[in-house]
């Protein structure tokens, strides 16, 4: 039995129709290369007829060879009542010079008469002529039957007639499009099965996610016999998006014994998603199945206890199979065993029933009640444990800081900070200006500390986030500040909470600096051993 499913990625065409997405020619080239590396069968890379930037892309990429991917150009059937040879869009499609083309045509009678406003007969001729023309030019032709399922529900004879026209034109593939995205998996299975039984041509499926069921609809079409799956790699596209191919690939290849991409590339499923999100410049939804940062993150105490005994207790697959990883989150709902493993990193002698363990749980509950959250602030969490276990001594003592901010009507605004600290009995006092009070404080503190700890010169802040807690109390509310720092090699994150945003930032800043200094000492100790 042949269990191959051809994956057809439209990130660069349907994906580019998502809100907030725009690709440069260079972006597109990077994405095609990444998808080829995985072993994706088809990459639909643009609509050369409607978009000159897409035509430029096809020209730029024309000399590049791909190992697994057939580059595909997208376009519509010829316009009504003209010859295929006279249709500019079809000419642009040929100019794109790709081995495969995807042609969409109307399968829903309503769209024919009300949207493109031609006759039902002419629409069938448009489908047949266009495909025959492209076949005569040596192309592999994928026919996208737009709105096929809505069309079938409204007028099954006509929807099937559109596929018949494509067959007569010589189409290599009949792809059934669930364009408006609102269909249900039981309908998809039934209708797809009927098409597979009726036509001796390979069938594909193209789903949108407006009912939140694109993945299931796609899987059900495959169960009914479809062997091509169209979608976009991380699911963005018009409106709610296309089906997320990373989810479909993992579902089919890991659980239904289908072959979608190269077996040895399954471990790159997650990193490829990150790369595409990076290139597209979008923040990925971290709860995305398989590839999201939270996909294997455990927070509930019983869940953490379960996975620590046996991962399969709360994981449907081993995250390493898709290049993702398990994460254990710290919070009020996570239990003792997580905490213990973190405490044992600082002091291996701590046991589950050591008094320190319960004390630390109490401390954490108190801190969380105050608004602390350690999930994204592992470094502050480690410092809390160290302080708790007596494995901490401060690197400096604060005498005071003062902030002075002046904002004059004539736009002469300044933020400045004074900091006075003591290290080993030596005082240091500094002052700095910044673009705001927190920036000024950050600069003044570093300036003071660099005298004693020159390695802090390489540290800089990479990310700064503010969350207002209990927003109802407005400017009296508590704020939580998260800071991500780096020294060029490592990344670490710290947190501070206060009703005063400057104080919350101060707490997170101090943790960031102390964490760096502790790690430097540990490294020296390791090198010495």
Q: Which of residues 117-176 bind its own copies (CB under 8 A)?
A: none
- Give the residue with the Cβ less far from its own copies, 61 or 403: 403
Supply the DSSP symbol for 116: S
**Which has the closest alpha carbon to 510: 383, 415, 331?**
383
CB of 290 vs its own copies, minimal distance in Å: 8
Question: What is the Cα–Cα distance from 323 to 305, expressed in whole angstroms?
Answer: 23
Which among 236, 247, 105, 263 has a CA at the least distance from the CA of 169?
105
Q: Which of 400, 425, 489, 528: binder of its own copies (CB under 8 A)?
A: 400
Min dist. Cβ of residue 108 to its own copies (A): 9
Stretch that binds its own copies, among 107-115, 160-168, 378-386, 517-525 (CB under 8 A): 107-115
Residue 87 CA to residue 164 CA, distance in Å, equals 23
In the complex, the smallest distance separating the C-beta of residue 521 from its own copies, rounded to whole angstroms, is 24
Q: How many residues bind to its own copies according to rule CB under 8 A?
A: 137
Q: Does 461 bind its own copies (CB under 8 A)?
A: yes
Cα distances (angstroms) measured from residue 496 to each of 360, 373, 392, 468: 18, 9, 18, 12
d(C-alpha 396, C-alpha 419), whole Å: 12
User: What is the smallest separation between the CB atom of 80 and its own copies, expressed in angstroms?
Assistant: 14
Residue 488 contacts its own copies per CB under 8 A: no
By the rule CB under 8 A, 181 interacts with its own copies: yes
Nearer to its own copies, 333 or 521 (CB): 333
- The C-alpha atoms of residue 292 and residue 339 are separated, in whole angstroms, by 24
Write down the least CB distance from residue 383 to its own copies, Å: 19
Mark the segment that binds its own copies (CB under 8 A) among 93-101, 134-142, 392-400, 521-529: 392-400
Nearer to its own copies by Cβ, of 90 and 501: the residue is 501
Q: Is 424 in the site for its own copies (CB under 8 A)?
A: no
| 97/291 Cα distance (integer angstroms) | 34
Pairing mode of beta strands 479-486, 491-498: antiparallel
Give least dist CB 378 to its own copies, A: 13
Which CB atom, from 167 or from 514, has the smaller least distance to its own copies?
A: 514
Return the structure tokens found at 305.
């206890």
CB–CB of 415/440 below 8 Å? yes
* Cα 9 to Cα 280: distance, rounded to the nearest angstrom: 15
Among 3, 136, 313, 455, binds its own copies (CB under 8 A): 313
Nearest partner of 57 among 87, 88, 97, 21, judged by Cα: 97
Contact pick of 405, 450, 487, 520 for its own copies (by CB under 8 A) = 405
Strands (E), 94-237: 100-106, 140-146, 173-178, 202-207, 228-231
Cα 385 from Cα 371, distance rounded (Å):
18
- Cβ burial, residue 220 (10 Å; 0-12/13-18/19+): buried
The 217-256 site mask, x for binding its own copies (CB under 8 A), equals: x-xx--x-----------xx-xxxx--x--xx--x---xx
**Residue in the structure block whose two tokens are 């024309």:** 62
Tokens of 422: 């003591």
Q: Which is nearer to its own copies, 12 or 171 (CB)?
A: 12
20 near its own copies, judged by CB under 8 A = yes
Contact characters 55-84, its own copies, x per CB under 8 A = ---------------------x--------
Interacting stretch for its own copies, rule CB under 8 A, among 4-12, 108-116, 159-167, 515-523? 108-116
Interacting residues with its own copies between 430 and 449 (CB under 8 A): 434-439, 442
> Which residues, 252 to 311, sit near its own copies by CB under 8 A?
255-256, 281, 285-290, 292-303, 305-306, 309-310
């Amino acid at each position: 039995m042949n269990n191959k499913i051809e994956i057809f990625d439209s990130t660069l065409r349907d994906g580019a129709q998502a809100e907030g997405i725009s690709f440069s020619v260079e972006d597109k080239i990077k994405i095609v290369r990444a998808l080829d590396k995985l072993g994706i069968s088809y990459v639909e890379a643009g609509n050369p007829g409607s978009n000159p930037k897409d035509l430029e892309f096809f020209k730029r990429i024309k000399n590049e060879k791909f190992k697994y991917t057939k580059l595909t150009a997208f376009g519509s059937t010829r316009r009504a009542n003209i010859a295929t040879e006279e249709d500019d869009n079809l000419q642009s499609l040929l100019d794109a010079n790709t081995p495969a083309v995807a042609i969409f045509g109307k399968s829903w009678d309503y769209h024919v008469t009300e949207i493109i406003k031609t006759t039902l007969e002419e629409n069938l001729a448009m489908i047949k002529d266009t495909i025959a023309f492209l076949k005569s030019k040596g192309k592999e032709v994928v026919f996208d039957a737009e709105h096929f399922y809505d069309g079938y529900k409204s007028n099954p004879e006509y929807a099937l007639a559109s596929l018949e026209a494509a067959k007569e034109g010589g189409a290599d593939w009949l792809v059934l499009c669930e364009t408006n995205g609102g269909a249900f998996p039981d309908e998809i299975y039934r209708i797809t099965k009927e098409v597979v039984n009726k036509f001796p041509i390979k069938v594909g499926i193209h789903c949108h996610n407006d009912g939140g069921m694109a993945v299931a609809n796609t899987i059900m079409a495959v169960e009914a016999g479809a062997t091509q799956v169209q979608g976009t790699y991380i699911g963005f596209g018009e409106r709610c998006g296309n089906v997320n191919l990373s989810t479909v690939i993992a579902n089919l290849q890991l659980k239904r014994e289908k072959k979608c991409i190269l077996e040895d590339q399954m471990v790159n499923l997650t990193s490829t998603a990150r790369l595409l999100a990076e290139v597209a410049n979008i923040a990925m939804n971290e709860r995305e199945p398989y590839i999201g940062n939270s996909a294997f993150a455990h927070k509930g105490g019983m869940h953490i206890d379960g996975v620590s005994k046996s991962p399969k207790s709360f994981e449907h697959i081993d995250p390493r199979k898709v290049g993702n990883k398990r994460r254990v989150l710290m919070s009020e709902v996570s239990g003792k065993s997580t905490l213990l493993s973190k405490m044992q990193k600082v002091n291996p002698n701590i046991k589950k029933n050591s008094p320190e363990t319960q004390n630390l749980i109490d401390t954490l509950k108190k801190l969380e009640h105050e608004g602390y959250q350690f999930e994204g602030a592992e470094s502050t969490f480690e410092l809390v444990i160290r302080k708790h276990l007596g494995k901490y001594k401060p690197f400096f003592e604060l005498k005071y800081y003062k902030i002075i901010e002046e904002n004059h009507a004539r736009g002469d605004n300044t933020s400045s900070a004074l900091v006075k600290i003591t290290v080993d009995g030596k005082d240091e006092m500094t002052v700095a200006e910044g673009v705001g009070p927190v920036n000024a404080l950050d600069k003044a503190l570093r300036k003071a500390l660099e005298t004693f700890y020159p390695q802090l010169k390489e540290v800089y802040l990479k990310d700064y986030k503010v969350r207002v807690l209990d927003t109802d109390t407005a400017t009296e509310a508590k704020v939580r500040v998260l800071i991500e720092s780096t020294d060029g090699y490592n990344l670490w994150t710290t947190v501070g909470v206060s009703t005063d945003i400057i104080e919350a930032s101060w707490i997170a800043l101090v943790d960031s600096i102390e964490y760096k200094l502790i790690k430097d000492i540990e490294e020296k100790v390791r090198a010495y051993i």
